[in-house]
Amino acid sequence: MLDGSDAMNADPDYSAAYVRLMTDSPITGDSLVFTIGRGNEIQIAAINILAEKIVGLDLDDAFTNIGAIAKELSSDSQLRWLGPDMGVFHMAAGAVLNSLWDLFSKNKGVPLWKFLSDMSSEEIVAAIDFRYISDALTPEEALEILNRAESHKSKNEAILVSTGVPAYTTTPGWLGYSDEKMLHLTQEALHDGFSLIKYKCGKSLSDDRRRLGKIRELVGPDFPIAIDANQVWDVGVAITWINSLKEFNLRWIEEPTHPDDVLGHARIAREVAPTPVATGEMASSRIIFKQLLQSKAISVMQIDASRVAGVNENLANVLMAAKFNIPVCPHAGGVGLCEMVQHIAMWDSVAVSGHHSGRVVEYVDHLHEHFLEPTNISRGRYMTPQLPGAGAQMHQSSIDTYIFPTGDYWMNGVRI
Ligand SMILES: [Mg+2]
């Protein structure tokens, strides 16, 4: 249906490498790495290789040593050659770590956001690998940020439980949609109470101007809208293109160029100001985020639950953003990403930067029905998940139907 289509990704086939850690109790650690189709077999091979490293661990020991485990998963000298700290093996490390965090919180009987929020500042800091980021954030500074928030935690948690965190939607904005479908879905999004709507852009300037003109006509001059180019431009093109859309009063321009091009983002940010620049869904590690923050390249930081090395690395990313006073507005356009990343945003709202107007969490209305606890969006806000765990566990029936290549969907031509 071209759900998920944008200027770079013309034919997405939403997929995931799914991980399940088995224990000698009934609980399992479930996680996934979102992909958009081909390449899953490579992702799965990497996960299988790294997962060997945690076989046989005791769960309590694993929690006590989670910082060391994270470091070890990224430190195998031969596998590291295929990174380092980026790409398939880094995402595989994230899958293994996220499965462990799922186990930790299920074992405690709480959702991950609550598990993280109840951890001490020292435990959070101990979970982070500060290698390569200590020039931007030291363990002592991280501790200070967390300790500062400590006395607000119970009040922040009460606000979170009663009002959730604001969501924005990308559902109306896929590039493959007709203007009619886009406007119809925009109307629905307004009705549903979303506080920002995002649209794909970057294939044709005249199309972008036409679409944004129609959108502005519908939503009015002040309603926050953002656009997302998904990396299609060179730096110079990005600057010209974005500046010729200034009249549309954009809340942000997302992924204007290659995700590793920190200096390019910094130049774009300078030359399209005051239009804010956002990126991060494909920022491969905390090291890229560090440079984006240090070089003032972003006004909005978009972490992703399955791109980096799991919860551990996202703890570092959120704390770096707090130090640089940049809001974290997580990316969630993909299967399971909303369910997973909401926990990090909620932890941020309770235990790091608190509740503030800069945070808005992406929401897309696809494939939630496969998850044990689909996101709960109410009046345009993510409400807290209730089930223990980190959010990625799918219904067994969905797994049985769609697992490749043995599921009914593939074997028997079932079309649901
Ligand atoms: Mg995006």
Centre of ligand 1 to C-alpha 227, Å, is: 9
Centre of ligand 1 to C-alpha 406, Å, is: 32
Active site residue: 106, 114, 198, 200, which one?
Answer: 200
pLDDT at 414 (0 to 100):
62
For 245, phi then psi, to 5°, come to -115, 10
Centre of ligand 1 to C-alpha 256, Å, is: 10
User: Active site includes 181?
Assistant: no
Centre of ligand 1 to C-alpha 298, Å, is: 14
Rounded CA-CA distance 386/260 in Å is: 36
Q: Which amino acid, residue 236?
A: G
Centre of ligand 1 to C-alpha 221, Å, is: 23
Distance linking the first and last C-alpha atoms of the chain: 14
Active site residue: 265, 331, 343, 370, which one?
Answer: 331
Whether the predicted model's global pTM rises above the 0.85 cut: yes
Q: Which residues surround ligand 1, an ion (CB under 5 A)?
A: 228, 254
Token pair of 171, please?
Answer: 């559902």
Look at domain 154-398 and name its CATH class. Answer: alpha beta
Centre of ligand 1 to C-alpha 128, Å, is: 26
Domain boundaries along the sequence of the chain:
154-398
Profile the chain (416 residues) by mean pLDDT over runs of 10 residues.
76 92 96 94 97 97 98 96 96 98 98 98 98 98 98 98 97 92 97 96 96 98 97 98 98 98 98 98 98 98 98 98 98 95 98 98 94 98 98 97 92 70
CB 313 within 8 A of CB 113: no
User: Active site includes 71?
Assistant: no
For 140, phi then psi, to 5°, come to -65, -40
H-helix or E-strand containing 283?
none
pLDDT at 316 (0 to 100):
98
Centre of ligand 1 to C-alpha 343, Å, is: 19
Centre of ligand 1 to C-alpha 161, Å, is: 28
